[in-house]
């Protein structure tokens, strides 16, 4: 089906699904996936979000299932109002248009309150998600390694045009294995897997809603926290990050009885390396494969995270050497 035909079908489905007069349909947001989002405004000013999510690229059944699990926990997520899964069309409730990143950018003084609330959401998901562990795919070693290999396959080889012989000098695969092995020893919990400021909506009452949760897994307890505090889209003061790590550690003491705060901080740091290697690879893939150029602008911030953490640990020195030797263009 041509895109123009799909657009016509999508609009017709929306009009048939919503039993009210539609005032306007306009783009709502964009992300790194194949999904497209539209805000529907009715004559009475009520709004909904329509999603064009091609089933050949996106797992819409999983999205709907995870949405229901989170809703049952009392987490604010979009409610599915209607769906047509053969074509990948959804209509959902509208949590609002202001992301946490928008709020932080416009008024950073409220950052502590927002991060305190966001950490409470993570803790709530981890504690209340225990009964859902069997419904989640396991974030296993193969998956972690595949994600880190994106750094080599798309960033090193494609973005920086580095050859295999040069990459092999730094023994990066050995580091990848060490990071994955340590992550698997962490307490395993319900992980959102993309819990950052662009996926958190702040409503008019300053309460938080959560988006983009369809890739949830059973994985390391530090993963969502590092996504939040070492966000690829905004840099927080390191002292602030340390305070929030301590706050989370204390709030999650029931799940961390056998882990010291020092060990937890190292787990957090190394989990961040895994995530940021993946992110740099994905940002490069978005540019070269998907022609989404803007994400490449977030690589310098993400590389800086990698360098700072690698400098803390002797076991990561060769990765630090690689990053310093091969600077981003």
pLDDT in tens, 188-244: 999 999 999 999 999 988 899 999 999 999 999 999 999 999 999 999 999 999 999
- What proportion of the chain, given as a percentage, has pLDDT over 70? 98
Do 3-93 and 100-325 show the same overall fold?
A: no
Fold entry, domain 100-325: Aminoglycoside 3'-phosphotransferase; Chain: A, domain 2 (3.90.1200)
Instruction: Return the structure tokens found at 238.
Output: 């390191």
Residue pLDDT, tens place only, 214-224: 999 999 999 99
How does pLDDT run across 50-60, given as a tens digit for each residue? Answer: 999 999 988 99
Phi and psi at residue 43, to the nearest 5°: -60, -30
Query: Both tokens of residue 140?
Result: 């296993």
- pLDDT of 23 higher than 90: no
Global confidence as pTM:
0.94
Q: Judge contact between 89 and 71, C-beta under 8 A.
A: no
Q: Over the stretch 26-80, which tens digit does the pLDDT of each residue have? A: 888 766 678 889 999 998 889 999 999 999 988 999 999 999 999 999 999 999 9
* Mean pLDDT, residues 246-256: 93
CATH ID of 3-93, from 3.30.360.10, 3.30.200.20, 1.20.58.390, 3.20.20.140: 3.30.200.20
CA distance linking residue 14 with residue 35, whole number of Å: 16
Q: Which two tokens stand for residue 41?
A: 């405004």
* Average pLDDT for the chain: 93
Could you tell me the pLDDT band of residue 149, with boundaries at 50, 70 and 90? very high
* Domain boundary assignment for the chain: 3-93, 100-325
């Amino acid at each position: 089906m041509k895109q123009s035909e799909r657009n016509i079908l999508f609009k017709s489905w929306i009009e048939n699904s919503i039993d009210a007069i539609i005032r306007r349909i306009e783009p709502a947001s964009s992300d790194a996936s194949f999904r497209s989002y539209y805000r529907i405004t009715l004559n009475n000013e009520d709004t909904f979000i329509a999603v064009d999510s091609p089933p050949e690229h996106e797992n819409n059944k999983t999205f709907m299932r995870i949405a229901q699990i989170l809703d049952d926990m009392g987490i604010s997520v979009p409610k599915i109002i209607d769906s047509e899964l053969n074509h990948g069309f959804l209509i959902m409730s509208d949590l609002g248009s202001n992301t946490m990143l928008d709020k932080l950018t416009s008024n950073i003084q409220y950052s502590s309150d927002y991060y305190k609330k966001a950490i409470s959401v993570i803790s709530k998901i981890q504690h209340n998600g225990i009964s859902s562990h069997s419904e989640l795919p396991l974030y296993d070693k193969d998956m972690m390694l595949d994600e880190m290999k994106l750094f080599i396959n798309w960033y090193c080889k494609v973005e920086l045009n580095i050859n295999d012989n040069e990459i092999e000098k730094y023994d990066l695969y050995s580091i990848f294995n060490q990071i994955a092995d340590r992550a698997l020893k962490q307490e395993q919990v319900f992980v959102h897997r993309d819990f950052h400021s662009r996926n958190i909506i702040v409503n008019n009452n300053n309460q938080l809603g959560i988006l983009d949760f369809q890739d949830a897994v059973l994985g390391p307890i530090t993963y969502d926290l590092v996504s939040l505090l070492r966000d690829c889209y905004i840099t927080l003061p390191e002292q602030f990050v340390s305070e929030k790590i301590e706050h989370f550690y204390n709030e999650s003491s029931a799940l961390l009885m056998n882990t010291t705060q020092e060990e937890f901080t190292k787990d957090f740091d190394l989990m961040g390396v895994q995530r940021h290697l993946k992110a740099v690879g994905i940002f490069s893939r978005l540019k070269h494969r998907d022609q989404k150029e803007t994400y490449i602008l977030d690589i310098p911030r993400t590389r800086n995270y990698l360098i700072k953490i690698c400098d803390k640990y002797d076991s990561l020195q060769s990765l630090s050497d690689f990053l310093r030797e091969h600077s981003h263009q």
